[in-house]
Amino acid sequence: MGVLTDQQKARFMDLLWSIQSRLLAAFEEIDGKAKAERKSWERGEGAGGGTMGVIRGAIVEKAGCNVSAVSGPEYPAIEGEHKGKPFWAAGVSTIAHMYSPMAPIAHMNVRCLEVGDTFWVGGGADLTPFKAFDDDTKAFHAALEEACRGESHGTYDRYKKWCDEYFYIPHRKSIRGVGGIFFDYLKGDFDQLLNFLGKVTSAYCTVYPEILKKRVDEPFTDEQKDAQLFWRGRYAEFNLAWDRGTRFGLMTGGNTEAIFVSLPPVVKW
């Protein structure tokens, strides 16, 4: 008997599916021509699966929004109190790369894990512009700060600091963008946690498309486009070398194509 009821898991999945639908529709509107493609995958033997949603176009060069729910008899931790316990894990992850170097990369994910006799939630969102605009940065952080208002497990300031620490690229000695929020291992009342994740994801689904609509049509030079491709390299380096979500997906037998949908479509080093 798990900690979470089937009804609670279903409610969490409903949130994830609604986020995927909302974001893919927003990316389609921004691009104007490209349509999102959805591809379902299964982990096998009743161990779960998910749906990968990807859009590729002239404006939205590559954007993905994936939903997954997997389970197994042994949590894939190398060590620690949760190692070897039965688990259930579900989440949504989205990443977008615009063709224009004036339009920022952004990422968001939320997840829920049940391991043995406990469960927790985690997630976050961050903005990674090649060319940072102060008003975009302020709008992005203001939306996330409002989503964190009244949260009992921590504050926006705490989650903002956590984001800067998590999305730090050690070999580059820098954070990968202009920040956002990050949180993990939040435990407590399921309804309160689900409400918090709903506020965070709704804020992201509103503010990020608004930023993109302002930037995708701005003029840029060939030099800026070339420099953007090198900037994308840092994003790829973090995801491949340091990101915990990438490692967890690979360790739990997730869909490789879905896991690496976060990588830029064209990049230079």
| Residues whose CB falls within 8 Å of the CB of residue 174, separated by 6 or more in sequence, listed in order | 168
Known catalytic residue at 107:
yes
242: DSSP letter: T
Cβ-count burial 16-26 (b if 16+ within 10 Å, e if not): bebbbebbbeb
CB 208 within 8 A of CB 106: yes
Catalytic residue from among 82, 97, 107, 153: 107
Other Cβ atoms within 10 Å of 59 Cβ, number: 18
Identify the sign of the CA torsion 22, 23, 29, 32: negative
Please give the structure tokens belonging to residue 249. 């997906």
CA dihedral (14, 17, 22, 26) in degrees, to 10, reads: 170
- CA–CA gap between residue 43 and residue 250 (Å, rounded): 12
Measured between alpha carbons, how far apart are the two ends of the chain, in Å?
50
Question: Annotated active-site positions, please?
Answer: 107
